Structure formats: C-alpha cells, structure tokens
Amino acid sequence: MGVAIVGTRRASAYGKEVTRWLARTLARSGITIVSGLARGIDAEAHRAALEAGGRTIAALGCGIDRVYPSEHRKLASEIVESGALVSDYPLGTEPEGKNFPPRNRIISGLSLGVLIPEAGKGSGALITADYAAEQGRDVFAVPGSVLMHGSGGTNALIQDGAKVVLGPEDILEELNLAMVAEQAEARQVLPADETEAALLTHLSAEPTHVDDLQQQLGIPIAQVTSTLALMELKGMVRQVGGMKYVVAREPGVEYIVD
C-alpha cells in the first residue's frame, strides 16, 4: 500500500516540517512512501520514511544508473536498501526535462493517493495530481498561507476539490487504512523473556544504537546483541545499519474515529 508525496523543489521550512511529520507517521503505520527523488518535498518525504524505518520507492526521470540530482546518490542508495528505484527509461538515459512529466504518472500509478504538502501554481507536482485524478486516485493537499507563493498550487487544488489534510489521520481514514496499525499490532510476536520485553520498551521506529540499549538496560552487551539477533529472526526488530535497531512492527499513529 503506497501513498505518493510530491511537491515543490523550493520547499519552505513549513513545507519541509509538515512533509516530515506526515511521511514519518504514514511510514510508521505501514504505508509505503512513493516520490520522485527531487530536491525539496520529495527528498524530505524519502528521508522521513527511511528514518521511521519504513519503505519508500523513488520513480526516476532517467535510467536507474543515472541518479538525478547527483547530490541524492547517497539517498538513492539508502532507498534501495529498504525500497526500490523504478524507471520507465533504459539504463544510460540522461535526466532530460521531457522525461519528468511522464515519470509522474508512475508515481501516482504506484499509489492509492497523492499528497501534495507544498507546491506553487507552476509546480510539476500538479502534473502528478492531474495523473492521479485521471487514474482514479485520491488527491490530498495541505493548506498554506495565501501570502506564500509555495502554497498557491496546494490551495488551488483544494479549491478544485482535493481533500484537505490537517493530519495523517485524514489520509488514513479516506483511504480506509485506519486499521493498518491495529492489524500490525495484532500480528506482533510476543516477547519470549524479560530481556526481549525490556528491549521492546526501549525500541521504536527511531533507530537506537546497541550501546544505548545496553546502558539503558544495564545488562551485558553480548546479551543485548544476541537477543536482538534472535528478535530479528522472529521479525520483531530490524537492524537499519550501524548497529542501530528499530521495531519491525510499529503500532503507528493512534487517533479516534468519530
């Protein structure tokens, strides 16, 4: 289950913060974040999903061996570890401007809905919204100040019927994903002993280093690492690199449905 998050390359502090909040919460609720690896909103969405221990997919307007922009090579490598890079174009295809509008239909096509946190009236993200409407996907937009150029596109989308997003629950409810977190929690494997239970209380979707866990629990480091290895085999936790671990089944956001 995927939700696309796309927007302006010239993201404001507000746009970046709201993108991180929404992408992180959706990823923790088991939703795959789909975007385009562009500067600004796209990159923030990918990074937030990865930081939450979630899955993210980047659709490219070039061959998958030609990462664009070049400063996102490291981000692309991190995405491959827990998601995928996808492209309509063969290896070696350069990132020409004409390639990106068609790329946007892949972003919307891979998703149940498209969320635009911030975009001006001339933003390419609006092309993705058009594709989403054609494909029968829901379009979501975060309202912004009428005085901000970067909010002109999102406010116009809302005027045209896009669903207003004031929090992640608006997306989860509209897409009938409200039970994803509860279902994941119900499938959770019960801890086998006190050490596993203690580790679970100190782990979340935010990566925690084994040394920090050892200090918090006050038990030998060998016991911490061996228990984590067994928990990873059970699917209870996941190592995200650098001896840092996250809970593999994060309960996610809680909210009340009226």
Closest CA to 141 of 117, 119, 123: 117
Provide the terminal-to-terminal Cα distance of the chain, rounded to the nearest Å. Answer: 24
pLDDT of 186 > 70? The answer is no
pLDDT, tens only, 233-245:
888 888 888 899 9
Alpha-carbon distances, residue 135 vs 111, 140, 202 (angstroms): 10, 14, 43
pTM: 0.69
pLDDT of 257 > 50? The answer is no
Model confidence band, residue 256 (pLDDT cutoffs 50, 70, 90):
very low
CATH of residue 102: 3.40.50.450
For residue 237, the enclosing domain spans: 187-247
| In a shared domain, residues 37 and 159 | yes
Average pLDDT over every residue of 157-180: 86
pLDDT of 255 > 50? The answer is no
CATH of residue 226: 1.10.10.10
Which of 149, 178, 207 marks a domain boundary?
178
pLDDT, tens only, 73-126:
999 999 998 899 999 999 999 989 899 988 999 999 999 999 999 999 989 899
In this predicted structure, what is the pLDDT of residue 71?
94
Which of 119, 154, 178 marks a domain boundary?
178
Say how far apart CA 226 and CA 233 lie, in whole Å: 11
DSSP per position, 151-164: GHHHHHHHHTTPEE
Asked if residue 257 is part of any domain, the answer here is no
pLDDT, tens only, 122-158:
898 999 999 999 999 999 999 999 888 889 999 999 9
Model confidence band, residue 178 (pLDDT cutoffs 50, 70, 90):
low
Which of 178, 196, 223 marks a domain boundary?
178
| In a shared domain, residues 94 and 72 | yes
Count up the domains in the chain and report the number: 2
Only one residue has tokens 């809680």, namely 254
